[in-house]
Structure 1
Amino acid sequence: MSASRKQADIVVALAGNPNVGKSVIFNNLTGSRQHVGNWPGKTVEKAEGLCSFNGVEIYVIDLPGTYSLTAYSIEEMIARDYIIYEKPDVVVDIVDASNLERNLYLTLQLLELGANVVLALNKVDLIEAAGTRINVELLRERLGVPVVVTVAPKKKGMKELCEAILKAFKQPTHKVIEYDPKVEEYIKKVERLVEGKITQGLSPRWVAIKLLEGDKDVLKKVSTSLSEEDLAEVEKVRREFIKEFGDPEMTLANERYEVVKRILEGVLLKVRGLTISDILDQAFLDTVFGIPIFLAMLWILFQFAFMVSAPFSGFLGDVFAWVSQALKGVTGIDWLDYLLFGDYGVLNGVGTVLSFVPLIFTLFFALSILEDFGYMARASFLMDKIMGKFGLPGRAIISMILGFGCNVPAVYSTRAIPGEKERIAAIVVNPLMLCSARLVFFSAIAMTFWGRMGGNVIFSLYVLGILLALAVSTVLRKTVLKGEAATFIIELPQYLMPVLRVALSKAWGRAKLFFTKAGKVIFPGIVVLGLLSIFTPSISFTDNVEESIVAIVGKSAQPLFAPLGWDWRLVVAAIFGFIAKEIVLGAMALLYGVGEEGIGERIASLYDPLTMYAYMVFILIYVPCIVTIAVIKHEAGIKWALFTVFYELLLAYGMAWLIVSIGRLMGV
């Protein structure tokens, strides 16, 4: 049912960092009485619901997960504006007990806003298992707000949380956290200037802090309520602050962390010495050892995926080849029979693509294991030390890692990146990541030409994509997208033993997504290609593909690619890859007439490894699929979408030519 705020007695907003268990607590409270949609004018998910407790109807809204309320990202702006303008009766700040220092930063910002806060101390079981106890009473005393212990997956503490919400509603607390006395002098100066003049119902103290930080959004909101003299005086105080302390935003951020440290003194009680988690973090996050470990993890992951999936892929390929051969002549219509079951037939093309579903499943199963274990978040944190040198924020590594799965959600994930220029740079380079769609084609070629060493070849393409992305981002950030890179903050989750069922479920979800995409895009694309490969320009049937429409198109463009050693079939396969990269392999199967010989043997009989490696590099770099281009247009605009298409085409051709030229010079 759709949750109605009007029929509720109390309005409660759930706030917190990403991955703190906020959604689980929301589901525990609302059950089936919830509705999920989008925030008005945004593509960010909005979840709202109703909870009944002791005869009281509570309207619960799950705010987007944010690390702060600086309003750099869409999520931060939504969360902040809701608390300011919708004025929920209670804000439940859900914090991860295993990372209190990071989580309480947001708590202090909520208190600055003047919110009526209840703190939900979640994941206490994890920190206790790691050998640490929390003095809840001392934490409650120092924060000056109600603190409730919860374990969301076990629904522990839900009753106590509801009781705390009702009590906070009846007896609101608005704790004021004070910073260093010298900093407080400046805050109070600005506070006196705005107090009694701002009409939006904002906390004068919070407005003062934001104006000192130079928050443009807040300045715009209050400028209509302040005179020019007031604004000039505020700017004067801000300049004095900068002269004494330096960057205001960084200074106040440091002040918050200092307060958090003081609050936590004696709150966290270590009952064990160095834990396994501590030892793992020392290795994974170390600058010297961390990067080799990261590369080794990726290498092992690809080797595992190839070794496990190879027998299943081979079996599926053989089945489709046998079925295609057995059904020849069944329709009685020459052109239809040839289209469906011939050497260039649709069934052979589809079978070739689907035979690599086991590889996709295995790869994402392994990725899920690493993610659930807690390693991927640490890899992101580690890579931040490198990303800054290339003008990208640490959060960009998350979108790049997501790009290994699919560039579409990866581009969407860049919304969390603060700063428009940084975000655009991350969007533009993301298609250089080797997505799972291209992996289907690369796997077939790598297995054919390099056998068991194919995993090393695929690994080299992953590394090349990353290096090119960093190179392009460096050029962009030093030319058309100049600007400072933001500080990267990420939640490092507790190490957990991966649950096999969950990892299999995630992998199946990815495989199912591939099937869905196959039905909507890949299969229709192969059918269109099949039709174009059996009809001449005069729309007459031909069993000679060189007389077909698609051959004429490919032969027209082939001279451009002659220096690379490619025939028109490779050119046409690349053109159809614009629809979806999975089509490239199916297109080659159709155009070369795999039949009993098989796509691998057919390609191996025509090209040497150097030529095919150059072709793989071209497919890695050249234009994104049409869906990704549409998403880039939506997120960054038509100008950057077109820029991405053209620069990747030029870069792809240049890299392929370079590989072939150097290889021939070396006598490869």
Structure 2
Amino acid sequence: MAIRIALAGNPNCGKTTMFNNLTGSNQYVGNWPGVTVEKKEGKLKGKKDIIITDLPGIYSLSPYTLEEVVSRDYLINERPDAIINLVDATNLERNLYLTTQLLELGIPVVIALNMMDLAVKSGDKIDEKKLAAAFGCEVVATSALKGEGLTEVVDRAVRLANARTIQVPKHEFSREVEGYLADIADLLPNSVPDHLVRWYSIKLFEQDEKVLGTTPLSADSSKRIVEIVKDAEKQMDDDAESIITNERYEYISKIITGCLKKNRKGMTVSDKIDRIVTNRILALPIFVAVMFVVYYVSVTSLGTIVTDFTNDTLFGAWIQPAVQSLLETAGASEWLVSLVVDGIIGGLAAPIGFAPQMAILFLFLSVLEDCGYMARVAFIMDRIFRRFGLSGKSFIPLLISSGCGVPAIMATKTIEDDKNRRMTIMTSTFVPCGAKLPVIALVAGAIMGGAWWMAPSMYFIGIASVIVSCIILKKTKMFAGDPSPFVIELPQYHVPSVKTVLLHVWERVWSFLKKAGTILFLCCMVMWFLATFGVENGAFGMVEDMEASFLAIIGTFLAPIFAPLGFGSWQAVASSLSGFVAKEGIVSTMGVLANMAEATESDAALWQYVMTDFFHGSALAGFTFLTFNLLDSPCLAAISTMAKEMGNKSWTAFAVIFQNVFAYAVCLMIYQLGSFAMGGGFGIGTASAVIVLAVTLYLLFRPAPKADKKTGAAAARI
């Protein structure tokens, strides 16, 4: 029978690093039943009968965020055989708060004092034996980053699991609180297991809604518990939940006094770095400079070198000619050669050719995340975002969106306020995701000759669009109200784990490649068929002139809609349409059309074809094309996730409509006003852009409506 061990701990305590070290490649990722919070499980290296579950990073087992609910439900209902509780040795007091709650579940707990190398380096001394005696559980010093102590901590957890030990919490609160808890324990039904009596007593004292709703209490017992809680709140002059919180911290403080000797002489290295990195004046310029370097190296500098090799040499000079020669030698028909070489390989080659750029980008982002800098960015952006109605919690999804919009939308679950959560869902996909990176790289090469500033500018256009749209939305009654509070623990800076960083990069790139092998494969075939077949000279079949193809007919029909934005060619419209399925499809469609136009000799030929036939030689039109596909509604997978998180068809429809209308309005202003500024005439399009600009300015600077009483009450409770 398999042994199940759960990893539990605060965010940024090294849990993911330990999980990766323990399981290696034996991991499988899915979603928790009924929710879309990521679930990670893996088999211990060398021992297939030991399953490790990586629980979401949480600060407590209170039901405030979905992560806390998921972790609590798993621990109570699934009851793993043991828990490895990762505790940041450099921040004992904050981390041990969760430990006191885990010990009350009756499941064997082993405390992994993680980051002990950092604690020792700073001169702190932790008496592990005293800590173990105080909590009544085993304590092991570990360093997940260096792989130290991991074997020992797992061995102890396995030994406790095999012994079927029932964890008995040793911590006690004040005499008054223990008396109230004892009174509640006497009222619990017999169905509550003995090892969970204390946990249920505490949760009922805190008036935990989920526990109250699932515990089969009689009417008299429920009434009596309410009386006990009211009496306690009156006697102790505080609300019940705060009483328990204070009791936990008082107990932890007593333990730390006897177990921890700090040796802080002045500021730590992290504190010194933070004086610069989180400085009110320097923080934002530093962040802008960091992201500029990341995108410059990923897309323009090193990224261009590897992408040119992939597109020009690997696919253009080796694979496509070889496959074409092989098929023609085998006597394959013309349409089959065209399908395979132009449609499938040509279509897939375009987005796959940018995979190396994506890998470099994700490498940079993973390093910044793992070293602790991105936590600082969230803190920095909270000061800015609060001015526009969002909290720093909204920046986390925006940051994740630079990888993929789907997990970014899922990450909004941590935002308690529904209005702020919906607003973040609607705007998070404005930030360029990995799928948009190939589009940026290709179009930037086509319209600007690979200008170094294009990729970073798209990132900052996305951020600016988030801010502008949030200001507009926040000034409507649907979204009016105070932003939700933001609390984040800033971890100590440390050297990133090479293994963890490479695993993150591989997961993201592999996800992109899988999409290329499924969705984009079908997209390429459909686009090839539409671009190859049509009605020419009154007969259906393969067309010699692409202008007679079905794709040209569809694109030409819809072109007037996009003509005011500057890209009214059927090729550009057709490419944009494929982007509604998957953003990489834009590049795939361009690749299909370019291959069929025989612009396959080099990237330069492809870019020249795009510039001439797609945008009629107008760099401004190419820029608006890129901006529109950056800001319009995301891919179908992201829209599907959006629908699940919104939980309402009307809200989902509103979100999609808002995204597309916003993208259209922005691009209309860019192209029409830009054309006028460069010497163009003043016509209907320019007048429309002026009207749109006036409306936008009004929506931005009009006074915000007062939040209703419900919103104010909710903010006060928070």
**TM-score normalized by structure 2?**
0.78
Question: Structure 1 residue 601 and structure 2 residue 601: aligned?
Answer: no
Q: Is the 8 A contact 1:622 1:652 kept in 2?
A: yes
Q: Find the residue that maps to 2:125 and give its secondary structure.
A: strand
Q: Is the 8 A contact 1:150 1:156 kept in 2?
A: no
In 2, Cα distance between equivalents of 1:147 and 1:102 = 17
Question: Are residues 268 and 385 of structure 1, via their aligned partners in 2, closer, same or farther at CA, if it must alter by over 3 Å?
Answer: farther
In 2, Cα distance between equivalents of 1:237 and 1:293 = 53
In 1, Cα distance between equivalents of 2:481 and 2:646 = 17
Q: Is the 8 A contact 1:122 1:151 kept in 2?
A: yes
AA aligned opposite 2:403: G
Residue 216 (structure 1) aligned to one of 209, 215, 225: 209
In 2, Cα distance between equivalents of 1:604 and 1:35 = 44
Matches within 5 A, 1:192-203: 192=183, 195-201=186-192
Matches within 5 A, 1:278-427: 278-305=271-298, 306-319=300-313, 320-322=315-317, 327=324, 330=328, 333-339=333-339, 347-418=345-416, 420-427=418-425
Q: Which moved more, 1:196-205 or 1:653-662?
A: 196-205
- Report the equivalent of 1:560: 561
Residue 431 (structure 1) aligned to one of 394, 412, 429: 429
Give CA-to-partner distance per residue, 1:136-195, whole Å, 9 cap, x none.
34544655654333345233643883599489977954223436x9xx56x855763563
In 2, Cα distance between equivalents of 1:663 and 1:383 = 31
Q: Find the residue that maps to 1:513 and give its secondary structure.
A: helix
AA aligned opposite 2:463: I
Residue 643 (structure 1) aligned to one of 632, 640, 654: 654
- Report the equivalent of 2:514: 516
| Gap runs ≥5 in structure 2 | 680-718
Q: Quote the offset at 1:553 in angstroms.
A: 0.9
In 2, Cα distance between equivalents of 1:210 and 1:628 = 37
Q: Quote the offset at 1:488 in angstroms.
A: 3.6
Q: Quote the offset at 1:403 in angstroms.
A: 0.9
Give CA-to-partner distance per residue, 1:545-590, whole Å, 9 cap, x none.
1111111111111111221222222111100111211121232343
Give CA-to-partner distance per residue, 1:268-295, whole Å, 9 cap, x none.
4226553433312332233332222222
In 1, Cα distance between equivalents of 2:332 and 2:223 = 89
In 1, Cα distance between equivalents of 2:53 and 2:363 = 33
Q: Is the 8 A contact 1:241 1:248 kept in 2?
A: no
Question: Are residues 598 and 240 of structure 1, via their aligned partners in 2, closer, same or farther at CA, if it must alter by over 3 Å?
Answer: farther
- Report the equivalent of 1:9: none
Matches within 5 A, 1:603-622: 603-605=610-612, 606-622=616-632
In 1, Cα distance between equivalents of 2:556 and 2:54 = 57
Q: Quote the offset at 1:626 in angstroms.
A: 1.4
In 1, Cα distance between equivalents of 2:204 and 2:89 = 32
- Report the equivalent of 2:267: 274
Q: Quote the offset at 1:591 in angstroms.
A: 3.4
Q: Quote the offset at 1:539 in angstroms.
A: 3.0
- Report the equivalent of 1:158: 153
In 2, Cα distance between equivalents of 1:379 and 1:176 = 37
Q: Quote the offset at 1:423 in angstroms.
A: 3.9
In 2, Cα distance between equivalents of 1:602 and 1:90 = 62
- Report the equivalent of 1:79: 71
| Gap runs ≥5 in structure 1 | 6-11
Q: Quote the offset at 1:450 in angstroms.
A: 3.0
In 1, Cα distance between equivalents of 2:431 and 2:141 = 42
Q: Is the 8 A contact 2:134 2:170 kept in 1?
A: no
Question: Structure 1 residue 469 and structure 2 residue 466: aligned?
Answer: yes
Question: Structure 1 residue 3 and structure 2 residue 5: aligned?
Answer: no
**TM-score normalized by structure 1?**
0.83
Q: Is the 8 A contact 2:397 2:428 kept in 1?
A: yes
- Report the equivalent of 1:176: 171
Matches within 5 A, 1:127-146: 127-140=119-132, 143=135, 145-146=137-138
- Report the equivalent of 1:666: 677
Question: Are residues 539 and 626 of structure 1, via their aligned partners in 2, closer, same or farther at CA, if it must alter by over 3 Å?
Answer: farther
Q: Is the 8 A contact 1:130 1:275 kept in 2?
A: yes
Question: Are residues 631 and 81 of structure 1, via their aligned partners in 2, closer, same or farther at CA, if it must alter by over 3 Å?
Answer: closer
Q: Find the residue that maps to 2:91 and give its secondary structure.
A: helix
Q: Which moved more, 1:31-40 or 1:154-163?
A: 31-40
Q: Find the residue that maps to 2:113 and give its secondary structure.
A: strand
Q: Is the 8 A contact 1:90 1:116 kept in 2?
A: yes
Q: Quote the offset at 1:223 in angstroms.
A: 6.9
Question: Are residues 147 and 357 of structure 1, via their aligned partners in 2, closer, same or farther at CA, if it must alter by over 3 Å?
Answer: closer
- Report the equivalent of 1:591: 593
In 2, Cα distance between equivalents of 1:50 and 1:437 = 33
Q: Is the 8 A contact 1:449 1:604 kept in 2?
A: yes
- Report the equivalent of 2:10: 17
Q: Quote the offset at 1:71 in angstroms.
A: 1.8
Question: Structure 1 residue 495 and structure 2 residue 493: aligned?
Answer: yes
Question: Are residues 26 and 577 of structure 1, via their aligned partners in 2, closer, same or farther at CA, if it must alter by over 3 Å?
Answer: closer
Q: Quote the offset at 1:433 in angstroms.
A: 1.9
In 2, Cα distance between equivalents of 1:462 and 1:595 = 29
- Report the equivalent of 2:93: 101
Q: Quote the offset at 1:45 in angstroms.
A: 2.8
- Report the equivalent of 2:551: 550
Question: Are residues 219 and 286 of structure 1, via their aligned partners in 2, closer, same or farther at CA, if it must alter by over 3 Å?
Answer: farther
In 2, Cα distance between equivalents of 1:63 and 1:284 = 31
Question: Are residues 425 and 211 of structure 1, via their aligned partners in 2, closer, same or farther at CA, if it must alter by over 3 Å?
Answer: farther
AA aligned opposite 1:105: Y
In 2, Cα distance between equivalents of 1:352 and 1:32 = 30
Question: Are residues 48 and 354 of structure 1, via their aligned partners in 2, closer, same or farther at CA, if it must alter by over 3 Å?
Answer: closer
How many percent of aligned residue pairs carry the same amino acid? Answer: 34
Q: Quote the offset at 1:381 in angstroms.
A: 3.3
Question: Are residues 275 and 256 of structure 1, via their aligned partners in 2, closer, same or farther at CA, if it must alter by over 3 Å?
Answer: same
Question: Structure 1 residue 45 and structure 2 residue 44: aligned?
Answer: no
Q: Which moved more, 1:214-223 or 1:546-555?
A: 214-223
Give CA-to-partner distance per residue, 1:77-103, whole Å, 9 cap, x none.
243245445667865433121232321
Question: Structure 1 residue 574 and structure 2 residue 571: aligned?
Answer: no
Give CA-to-partner distance per residue, 1:328-357, whole Å, 9 cap, x none.
894674444555556xx6544433333322
Give CA-to-partner distance per residue, 1:521-547, whole Å, 9 cap, x none.
223312211211121155322121111
In 2, Cα distance between equivalents of 1:37 and 1:337 = 39
Question: Are residues 612 and 49 of structure 1, via their aligned partners in 2, closer, same or farther at CA, if it must alter by over 3 Å?
Answer: closer
AA aligned opposite 1:579: V
Question: Are residues 367 and 78 of structure 1, via their aligned partners in 2, closer, same or farther at CA, if it must alter by over 3 Å?
Answer: closer
In 2, Cα distance between equivalents of 1:40 and 1:590 = 40
In 1, Cα distance between equivalents of 2:359 and 2:21 = 32
Aligned length: 649
Question: Are residues 255 and 295 of structure 1, via their aligned partners in 2, closer, same or farther at CA, if it must alter by over 3 Å?
Answer: farther
Q: Find the residue that maps to 1:536 and give its secondary structure.
A: strand
AA aligned opposite 1:531: F
Question: Are residues 230 and 41 of structure 1, via their aligned partners in 2, closer, same or farther at CA, if it must alter by over 3 Å?
Answer: same
Q: Is the 8 A contact 1:380 1:395 kept in 2?
A: yes
Q: Quote the offset at 1:451 in angstroms.
A: 4.0
Question: Are residues 527 and 240 of structure 1, via their aligned partners in 2, closer, same or farther at CA, if it must alter by over 3 Å?
Answer: same
